[in-house]
Amino acid sequence: MKNKKLLNYSDYLQLNKLLESQSLMSDKNGQKAHDEMLFIIIHQTYELWFKQIIHELDLVGHLFSQKTIDESKVSNAVLKLNRIIEIQKILIDQIRVLETMTAMDFLEFRDYLFPSSGFQSSQFRIIENRLGLHQRDRLSYMNKNYKDAIKDDEKDLVNTSESVKSIFDLLERWLERTPFLSFEGFDFWEKYSESVTTLLKEEENLIRNRPNQSGEELEFNLKSHKNTVSSFQAFLSSEKHEELINKGEKRLSHKATKAALLIFLYRDEPILHSPFNLLSKLMDIDELFTNWRQRHATMVHRMIGGKIGTGGSSGHKYLRSAAQKHKIFSDLSDLSTFFIKRSALPKLPKNIKNSLGYYHQS
């Protein structure tokens, strides 16, 4: 041990390899463009952060692959998802740095980039797959399979990410095993349905008895209310929910959806804090990737206008469309449609309330 070489900061981080990995195509072509260095470093940094996100998703996937998922595993998953969220914020902020490069600066080296494109990032495709982006929901890229753009030596990793259980799949399975949907003497779904029926009738009465409204206004408001009633009826029915899944309008199973709603509505109960945070973090991740794609699309439009992307895509138009289509946890976000006010929530019997809290006896 006496002869053991002391660890050096530069060696530990392999800085020689890292700092020598910026090879400017403009320099190789004899017309060095100053801002190409920024362009490369920004995208290399993205890939490093993608690697970290995959690292965190792998752990979350492992935690939720267990037969028994106790409170500590859910809390640990929440911490890792929150780390991903903080990384996503950095990804969005990096665009501000990239925007210090003007469109004219970019044109100095853009032609040297063809046909490379961010669409060829295998790590980002792995992230989408690990989270649970369904292949049928992917936006078509030049009428080709998205993997056609991936390097051959990276396709195996992307294929693997398609075959393993995604975070969405594991979440659905975990929600379906939620033990709080039915207690002896208390059926959440039955009580919730009764509360919804009562609230909708009260709302209809308020509409009909609203003073100073014209006949046209009454007709419009009653029609809107009827649509709300239809929406709730479809939500309450497992058969209609299954029909929506078959149409591709829903994805989360009815049983898992009911469990998620219970967690949202009774999130003030101590034992549901971590499950509520878990669902919230997944929605945040979805939202931040949407924001990142939209921000990226705006930046690309500013840089290249209506030109096609370097990889042959429609540039900012493709990015904007992907931002809207490539959402994974929309079923969770949609649940706010079916929230009811706290005062109307079915009251939990005392024994059930105790089981959802932390109680200690001396």
pLDDT digits (tens, 9 = 90+) for 7-41: 999 999 999 999 999 999 999 999 999 999 999 99
Q: Token pair of 125, please?
A: 């495709």
pLDDT (tens digit, 9 = 90+) per residue, 139-155?
A: 876 678 889 889 999 99
Residue 162 confidence (pLDDT) above 90: yes
Average pLDDT over residues 154-172: 96
> What is the pLDDT at residue 128?
97
Whether the CB-CB separation of 255 and 58 falls below 8 Å is answered with no
Per-residue model confidence (pLDDT) at position 18 = 97
> In angstroms, how far is CA 144 from the centroid of its own chain?
24
Strands (E), the chain: 182-183, 186-187
Band (241; pLDDT cuts 50, 70, 90): very high
Judge whether residue 348 has pLDDT over 90.
no
Distance CA 215, CA 203 (A): 17
Q: What is the DSSP letter of 143?
A: T
* CA–CA dist 250, 177 (Å, integer): 20
**pLDDT by residue (tens digit) across 55-92?**
999 999 999 999 888 889 999 999 999 999 999 999 99
pLDDT in tens, 269-286: 888 999 999 999 999 999
pLDDT at residue 180 greater than cutoff 70: no
Rounded to an integer, the average pLDDT of 354-360 is: 63
Confidence at residue 295, expressed as pLDDT on a 0 to 100 scale: 92
- How does strand 186-187 pair with strand 182-183? antiparallel
Q: Which helix (H) or strand (E) holds 320?
A: helix 316-325
Over residues 115-141, the pLDDT tens digits come to: 888 889 999 999 999 999 988 888 876
Taking residues 160-178, what's their average pLDDT?
Answer: 95
Alpha carbon dihedral 315, 318, 321, 322, in 10-degree steps, equals -110
Take residue 140 and report the two structure tokens written for it.
């078509």
All domains of the chain, ordered by start, with CATH? 34-58+68-164+278-328 (1.20.58.480), 181-265+329-362 (no CATH)
For a pLDDT cut of 90, what percent of the chain falls above it?
A: 72
Does the pLDDT value for residue 358 go beyond 80? no
% pLDDT > 70, the chain = 93
Token pair of 112, please?
Answer: 């040297």
